[in-house]
Each structure stands twice: as structure tokens, then as C-alpha cells.
Amino acid sequence: MCMPQYSGMDFLRDLTKQKPSQLRKVVVVSVLKFSPTQIKELLKMGIHSVEEKPTNLQKLEVIKKNMWLR
């Protein structure tokens, strides 16, 4: 969620304003450790899920498959 001069949270806020229906396609994959409260807030925004690094390709494939079932 960290990018030079534009954070991941900035991106999510902008997406919420411009194309809120697209949030359900967002999977946050981050090395940052999110608190349960932060994860709850991200999910409340409408994103699909939050994954912490390291993760594996199989897990991401399951998430991708589940996304299309929603």
C-alpha cells in the first residue's frame, strides 16, 4: 500500500469515488502487517480481500476463482 507520492490508500479512496463497483476486484497483497481493525476497514470499503506476503500462487488462484463466483 506504499507508492511514491501516492499511497495504496489514496488509490483505494480514489477508486471508491470514481468507480466503486471496481473495488470488489481488488486484492491487497502487502508486506505490511495490518491490524484487524485496518483489515475490517479495507473490507468495509468493498475490496475483495487482504493477503500478507509471503503468499503463494495457489492461494492467489483460489482467491481469483472465488472472485468470479461472487
Residue 66 and residue 11: Cα distance in Å, rounded? 23
Residue 30 per-residue DSSP state = E
Global confidence as pTM? 0.77
The CA-atom distances, in angstroms, between 44 and each of 17, 20, 48, 54, 58 are 14, 12, 10, 24, 26
Q: Which three cell numbers stand for residue 49?
A: 480481500
Query: DSSP secondary structure string, 46-64?
Result: T-SEEEESS--HHHHHHHH
Residues 22-70 pLDDT 10s: 988 999 999 989 999 999 999 999 999 999 999 999 999 999 998 877 6
- Extents of the domains making up the chain: 8-69
Residues 1-12 pLDDT 10s: 566 888 888 889
